Each structure stands twice: as structure tokens, then as C-alpha cells.
Structure 1
């Protein structure tokens, strides 16, 4: 092995193409390119979302009541998770522009897909080495 075999940043940025399945498990014609959690895009999104969470805590403290605060908190957490995972998608074959808004909206509406992307992005290099 060479030292360069351990360099993962470039591959983290490029990502891997992943074929999508329909909700029933049948293959679809669509795909995503998923980056690793080691990518710069993910790190930037994480830092941005941390700052946004602090602002949202202040908003929650100003909410009208406990129920409203809980509802706002749930929506904000869902949106933050989706935004973070959206940073892991670098391209896709869907009939929508591959921008942050569309990616985030998709992941809010499809939490199962969001969780799958999280798992894939965490194991990209393990899969490459044949350890999955």
C-alpha cells in the first residue's frame, strides 16, 4: 500500500452514484451521486446549521405557547436534518434542478431516503474496501 491509498478527501468530494429504488423496493430508473460525510460541502453545511439552530432557539423562546413551540421545534429539526443531508447530494437524475431547495424539499418529504443517504455517506470508503 502507498500513503496515497489513505487519502480520502478527493473521493469524499466526488461521491458515488447510487441507484434508487421505488418505495416497494423495485428498481427505478433514477440515481443520486452521494458525497461522503468527510466532504467540505457537508462540513460547511454542518457549521451553517449549527449557527441557524442557535437563532431558532431564540425563535422558539418567543413562541406563543408550549404546543406551538413543540410544533415549530419539530419542523425546524426536520428541515435542519434535510438541509444537512442535502449537502451530501452532488447530482441526480430526477426531473428537478439539483439545488439546495429542491434537495431539501425532497428529503423533508422522504425521510426514509434521507436516512439511506446518511448511511451511504458514512460507509462510502468501507464499501470501496469491500468490508460491507
Structure 2
């Protein structure tokens, strides 16, 4: 009998492989970053990221992140033509991972946004609690 599950087939059962298959492209983590740190929720907001994502790539990555259960998409009540994207609980659980990646990169590379890095280093738990609080408030209000 054929498997009609919507979950993509994995190359292996390795947890790191699963993470890479979901998030290992050039853009997915930047989309999630923009949601967590910049409050981006719309296609237009994602297009304005400084890295300059192409429209076809953005559409594909949003679709994939929804398929993996990292994001949800709902019609904007103010404009039904627009979609509002939100992180799921699975998506917000990536906040500590992204924080550690930022800290790792800042320790080993010449990076910008040192104010953010200092904030993360000063009190990582407080920083992560703030991200989770904003996410929970957005879940409650639908923003």
C-alpha cells in the first residue's frame, strides 16, 4: 500500500539530518529570524529583509515551513488577499537554536548587530523569555 502522508520522506532517521532537511537551506532560518526578531508576518515584510530573497524562493520556503509545521498561514482579516504567517510552538522552539547560532557566529566571524549580540550575552534567558512572551501575546491576539 502506498504512503499518502504529506510528510516528506527523509534520507535517514538521524535527528540532525531531519533538522537539516527542514532548515538547512539558505533562507528558512532567515525567515524565522525575521519573525522572531523583527516581527515580520507578511510576504511583503519578508521580501524587505536585507539579504534580498527572490519572490519564488520566498514562496517556496514559506510553503515548506508550513508543511513542516514550523509556520501557519491565515488570511488577513483586514485584507483577505494577504496571508499572515505565524510561528507554531515547533517554530518558536527554534529561538534558543537561533540565539546560539548568532552567538557562535559573533564569536568566530566579523558580524554586525553587536547590540543584539550584547543583549543575548548579557542575559540569554531573559532575551529568550521576551521572544516567547511576544510570540504568546501574538498567539492570543492573532497578530
Q: Using structure 1 for the length normalisation, give the TM-score.
A: 0.25
**Larger CA Rg, structure 1 vs 2:** 1
Higher RCO structure, 1 or 2 (CA under 8 Å, sep 6+): 1
